[in-house]
Structure 1
Amino acid sequence: MTYVSRRSYIGHDGVEDLAAAFRPFDTIICCVGFGDAFPAGTQLKISQAVLLAAASDNNNSDGHGKPKRFLPWQWGVDYDAIGTGSAQDLFDEQLQVRALLREEQSKNLVDWVIVSTGLFMSFLFRADFGVVDLPNRTVRCLGRWDTEISITTPRDIGFMAAEIALRPGAISNQVVYVAGDTVSYGRVAELVEKHFGGSGKEFKRETWDRDSLKQELAKSPSNVMLKYRNCFAEGRGVAFDMATTVNKQRGIVLQDVQSYLKEMEI
């Protein structure tokens, strides 16, 4: 595999232009992100370009003909389980990408793999997300304290992306799961309190239940963090059984919340 960066072009390049850029490569792994980083429809356009490149009869002098494998930007929750029309409207495009890949699967254009990783571990500790608010020494649950969430560090996501791309085994044209940890908000609170408890000031716990989050979103419908909070409060498609993850099945140990906390200081 060879690394190619076209971040500055992806937002405005057309499908044909992107397909031309993708054709020399065997494997396309999309790591550009989504949301405010690019115009709506960018992830769908990238997927269309990969399929167009894969359908090409072009043969390159280096022996590479066209893309054979595609890992799209789906490094997050299980959008199938969440479904369309969720509080986070950005998720609908991710479902369109899945629908496109499944629709084209019978043509055998490209072998695709969607890797669901849950929430990025670092996001859990962002004060503006609100779950672990270290500056205010507050831990909050989204929905209920027993609601679970799967989380993976960006470093481990990159590691598992390489693992799946280079050693796919039987993984082909499907959604797979990766997670460093699957924990309840109550367990997160316990671990945070235990790790930082000796610093002289106790942490407080607050509940952001589903009804109150919906009311807040109704008042501020464009607030991105409120959209995310509402989705995670539902508890649907955001937590994976660790036994079903590729890392657990292959005996690969990823960083969990407890070990992540050991690297943190406040």
Structure 2
Amino acid sequence: MFSKNARQLSSYIPKSRLEGKIAVVTASTDGIGLAIAKRLAQEGAKVVISSRKQANVDKALSKLAADGLRNSIVGTVCHVNKAEDRKRIFDEAKKLGGLDILVSNAGTNPEVGPLLECSENAWDKTFETNLKAAFMLAKEALPLLRERGGGRIMFISSIAAFAPVSLLGVYSVTKTALLGLTKVAAQDLAPENITVNCVAPGIINTKFSSMLTQEGPIQEEAMRNIPMNRFGEVDEVAGVVTFLASDDSKYITGETIVVSGGMQSHL
């Protein structure tokens, strides 16, 4: 389900659009997060990647080194719900010189089922990771962004923010809430030359979405809702995030860009 045209588009990478920039990307050792970190580095940024497990960080660093990015990437353990871990990733950014770009990518979905059957524990955990941690990361990034005279904050939402998936009820609610967080934070920070935007991927070929992309009736139903008739690739999300991180988007703030192959995306 990956067309020749999509391959050609994802192969175009400006080489110095982010030269001198420093980025933090959470949950960035696999899938969309790793692709974002890689693309930012390919365009010239220094990037801090993170995962809850050191083994995942080490594996990702090896992959990125093999891609010729050894000198552009550092990694550390970070559970985004822990204040001391969030401090650690920003300390790593300080070692590189500061912070220009924050990409909040971490997300979780501990229970599958109808929304009103969701347990209180799963509700709290999903909101803590998908929404509260995103808010705290943005808040804690501000002093570093201000020191650099501005910067970029990006939240990774989901097509589920617009078109809820019945078995991902609370996940969908948190991803919709990120759209509101983006709007309010963007208004607050616009006078400080800090843009706040959101990216909402559709169904992307990752482990996280494998229940939708594996061959079978669920995949067939999902495909019927995608006008481009294919699932997305992580590089296609990374390209949009990198555009928002660059000066090409410096007059864009408070927006959500949907990367979904044409899936409906209106609240």
TM-score for both structures, normalised by structure 2? 0.49
Structure with bigger gyration radius? 1
Structure number with the higher helix fraction is 2
